[in-house]
Structure formats: structure tokens, C-alpha cells
Chains A and B, each alone.
Chain A
Amino acid sequence: MDLSVEMPGLHLKNPIMPASGCFGFGREYSQFYDLSLLGAVIMKAATREERYGNPTPRVAETHAGMLNAIGLQNPGVENVITNEVPFLAKYNTSIIANIAGSTLEEYEFVARAFNDSPNVDALELNISCPNVKEGGIQFGTDPAMAARVTEVVKRASNLPVYVKLSPNISDIVSMAKAVESAGADGLSMINTLTGMQIHLPTGKPLLANSTGGLSGQAIKPIAIRMIYEVKQKVNIPIIGMGGISTAEDVLEFLLAGASAVAVGTANFQNPFICAELIEALPSTLNKYGFNSLQDTIGKGIAI
């Protein structure tokens, strides 16, 4: 079955890719299977300088999910370009660079740096970061700020830009429209939901950072709902994610309106998950009466 998908800058042989932050830069998972199987790889976030991240504990298990507060630990964009991208470039897969920052200038710097990296096919713009110059409000929770950072990155970059939306807002459609108007080539959704766990033996938040981002199966219905709503109001393609762990989940995302999907937390449970989903997808599509991937996208939307 033809699983290929065309999206701005991305000619994917299948719609499956590991999500940012859950696959590092691919090295560790390359010992389990051939990364050339993957539609694409979304790299761990890169910032201007190296970041050390938050103190530990950085993760907590929850029912059907987990919380994380890694704090964008990464070796800095120059290191990512010189040491990590060449490793992934050996594989026959597309490379998406996830970029983060604390200021507009930082986003601009990181986006521009990837112009000199010929093997990167697209940017995923992580706007779930606090804007230090605006009192720490997340770029991704204010449509005007999200549009502004999208514009700045679009101007700085020669790559297609997929804006990764934060679900921690009440009106996801306004946010999606704001970044579409600002020039986004696509959307990526959803990032994690803010949560907290109290550790009973100490009576204090378990994560050193107190709050963390909830991911995994628990957030899937929220992701599906948001993609479904957004798909009806925007004309740019969506990379869907949030709790995917089976081929049925993938189909659900496609029907809701995603053109491709990313898999995060499920890699921790099963390092082979992406390869297994690619293998299982054709029979799952068949089972529900679809003959190609294209036939499924957005078909779940009731008119």
C-alpha cells in the first residue's frame, strides 16, 4: 500500500516519525532498527547555546502517561549541526529540526543556523517556551506572540516551518489561524499539557521543577479533538501527536485531520514502536476500508 505523504519540504515514504525530545538525535534508537524505515525524524530541541536543563527528578509516571520537565537540555545549535545532523543524514529519512528559544532573537538565531545545514528538510517551531522578555509568558499561549515568533522564524529561515502548538490554551483554533496568517507552512500538534504530581512521602511536588508536561495515552483524546477542530479552519497540513501507541491510534489521527504523525512517549515503552507502526499500518487501513493513506486524511470530519 502507498503510505507516502507530501507536505511542504517533506516527501515522506510513510507518515510515521519519532516526536521531538523522545528520540534524542536518533543514535540510541539506531541500535534497535534501521532509521531509514522512518518517514522522518524530529530532533530534540536546539537552542542558541548549550542548555543543561532542569534539576532531577525530571520525569514522573502517571496513569496512562508521564510528566516531564527536562528543561530543553541540548548541546546548542552549532553542535547539533556539526555532530548530530551528519549522523542522521546517513539514513534515508527526512530530518526535521525542532527549534526553541527564550527570546525572539534566540529563535531567529537558531532558525538561521539551520539554513547552513543542507540535510535538514524542515523546522518544527516549539513555541511552548517562556518568553523571558515578556515576563515569562509562553510564546505559545498568546496568539499575537505566537504569530510574531512565526513571522520572525519564517523570515530568517529558508526551510518550511511547522509551528508546534501548545494545548495549554482554551481556543486552539485562534492560535492555529494566527500562526497560519503569520506564514506557517504547517502545524504540529500537540505539545504536552501542564501537570503536577505530589510525592506523598515528602508531601511536595515530585518533579524538581514542580510542574511538568503530560504526555502519553492520557492526552490522546485532547489531541484528536484539537486536530479535528483546527483541520476545519486552516489550510495548512498537520503533523499530529499525543499518546499514539498503536496503528489504530495513527488512523484516528489521520481521520481527525493529521497528514502525518509523531510518536513520543511510546518509544520509552517499546523502542521498536515506530518500526512496528509502519509495518502494521497497511493492514489497519485495509481493515477499515482504506486503500491509501491519502484517502484517510481528514475523512473523520463530519460535515
Chain B
Amino acid sequence: MIKKERVRIQTKRKIAKDTIEMVLENKYISSIAIPGQFIHIYVDGHTLRRPISIANVDQDANTLTILFKQLGSGTEQLACSPEGTILDVLGPSGNGFQMDTGNSTILLIGGGIGVPPLYYLGKSLIEKGMKIISILGFQSSEYVFYEREFQELGENLIVTNDGSYGEKGFVTDVVHTIDHIDCYYSCGPIQMLQAVTQSLPTTRGYISLEERMGCGVGACFACVVPSKKESGYRKICKDGPVFNAEEVKL
């Protein structure tokens, strides 16, 4: 259940260009959040809350980690909040990834700031005994983050648009080099998700979507995505942000 919680910024660290990692302390959210869910953060002086994925959880320490890119005025201001600041947050929000069972081989495909939710997912899947392969795409070397963390989960490939680190190109340029996977999970820019779903048409897949949100709880119909199965739309904040790749039209 979504609650309005006070979370304390425990640590803050710059992990790549314009990219901040924050460890937040909150017992309620850290005790129930599942991979793929997000928190909706109030930023002083801004009408709309900012949705940010839960990138990791440490239940013993009562903490959750978020990774975000400084983009506009809201995330800029958030990035300037000192350690110890109390944030007003709604969460955990959304439905999270439906996790595979059995001894599957799982491919995680992340693009830029879509990478964060895949880390918590990967960690949780490892605990369930699955094999993880990850492909992470970034603009250039200065934006790369969490490479070591993903390497600890399993085989990891980094691609950059300009080739300044890892392979040059897009994540979809290297997808075919992976032999066999049972299921994929992907999060990133919409163009990347379109390319990913097209290049893995017969593989079971789950994608996490971004859209500008209003209420973030499913009441205002701002963040919707056309549905493939039934007519009409699904709500990203409530029915998603994670959807079966078959379920929605990108």
C-alpha cells in the first residue's frame, strides 16, 4: 500500500556525470518495496512530485537507494539536498516486475537512467537462483555507472552511443550476441524499448515505462499508455510502470 512517508537522506554521492546516488532511510518503504516500484518525491516549490525508481533495498538497514539524473529544476534541487534532509515521499508506488521462477537465464537491458530499477531486480533474481546477463547502454563514458555492481550479478556488457566506453552503438546492437535467454527485463528511453521489443519478438519480456505523471496514484489519468489487448489505455503509475511487453503499444 502507498503511504506518505518521511524519508531521511542518509548518504549522497555523485556516481557519474549529472548522476546522483542517494541512500534513503525509511522502515516502511524498505520493508515492502519490490523491484520495479518507484517513489514519488515532493520537491519544495514544485507542483508535481518526481517519480524515481527504487534501485536497491537493504531491509536490515531500513534503507532504499535511488539513482537519478539531474535534468531539470526538480532533480537539480533534489541533488542539492544535504545528507540528513527529510524528504516527503509517496511509496512504494506501482506494481513492480513480475519475477520469473525456475532456473531461468535472464537478460537485463537498461538504457541510461533506466538502469536503476534493474539493479534491485537483478539482485532479487540472483537470490531466486537465476542466471543474470546484463546489457547497459549509456551516452558516453562519463555517464557510465554501476558497472561493478552489475558485474557482480553476472555477465555484463556496456555499450555507449559514441564508443567512448565498452562497445560502440545501442543495446540492441549487442542483444544478438547473447546465446539463449528465457526472459528479458528492460527499462530505458522509449526508442530503446521499441527497438528491444522488436529485436526480441518471441522472448517473454517485461518493460518499465516512463511518462509525465500527475497524481502518481492512478486518479488523474495523466500517465497512460495504449493497451494492446483491450481497447483504451493502462495507467503507468498504477497498472505499471512495469508491463508485459505484449500488453502495451509503444
Contact = CB atoms under 8 A, between A and B. Distances in A.
Does A pair with B?
yes
Contact of A272 (B4, B47, B231): B4
A185 B235 CA distance: 36
A231 B16 CA distance: 57
Interface stretch (A52-60, A247-255, A282-290): A52-60
B232 A29 contact: no
Interface in A252-295: 265, 267-272
Which one of A23, A65, A73, A217 has the highest number of Cβ atoms from chain B below 10 Å of its Cβ? A73
State which size class the interface on A falls in. Answer: 35 or more
Contacts of A62: 47
Nearest to B217: A28
A4 to B, nearest CB: 27
Interface stretch (B6-14, B148-156, B168-176, B207-215): B207-215
Main secondary structure of the interface of A (DSSP, over half): loop
Which one of A29, A58, A265 has the highest number of Cβ atoms from chain B below 10 Å of its Cβ? A58
Interface stretch (B31-39, B112-120, B122-130, B218-226): B218-226
A52 B226 CA distance: 9
Contact of B48 (A23, A53, A66): A66
Interface string B169-189: 000000000000000000000
B233 A28 contact: no
Contacts of A56: 211-212, 222-225
Contacts of A70: 220-222
Interface string A18-43: 00011110011101100000000000
Nearest to B50: A61
Contacts of B224: 53, 56, 58, 73
Contacts of A78: none
A217 B47 CA distance: 9
B216 interface: yes
Contacts of B223: 56, 58-59
Contact of B219 (A22, A52, A59, A65): A22
Contacts of B4: 32, 270-272
Main secondary structure of the interface of B (DSSP, over half): loop
B221 A58 contact: yes
Contacts of B48: 59, 61, 66, 268-269
Contacts of A53: 221, 224, 233
B219 A28 contact: yes
B191 to A, nearest CB: 14
A271 B93 CA distance: 13
A227 B215 CA distance: 27
B233 A24 contact: no
Contacts of B49: 268-269
B90 interface: yes
A61 B47 contact: yes
A52 B46 CA distance: 28
A1 interface: no
Given A24-B219, A52-B233, A58-B212, A31 B2 contact: yes
B42 interface: yes
A32 B219 CA distance: 13
Contacts of A22: 215, 219-220
A23 B214 CA distance: 11
Nearest to A70: B221
Contacts of B213: 59
B222 A68 contact: yes
Which one of A21, A22, A268 has the highest number of Cβ atoms from chain B below 10 Å of its Cβ? A268
Interface of B: 1-2, 4, 42, 46-49, 74, 90, 211-225, 231-233, 238
Given A31-B217, A52-B233, A59-B213, 14 more contacts: A22-B219, A24-B218, A24-B220, A29-B217, A31-B1, A50-B232, A56-B222, A56-B224, A58-B222, A61-B46, A62-B47, A73-B221, A270-B42, A272-B4
Please name the 4 residue pairs, one residue from A and one from B, whose CB atoms are nearest each other, closest first: A24-B219, A59-B222, A28-B219, A28-B217
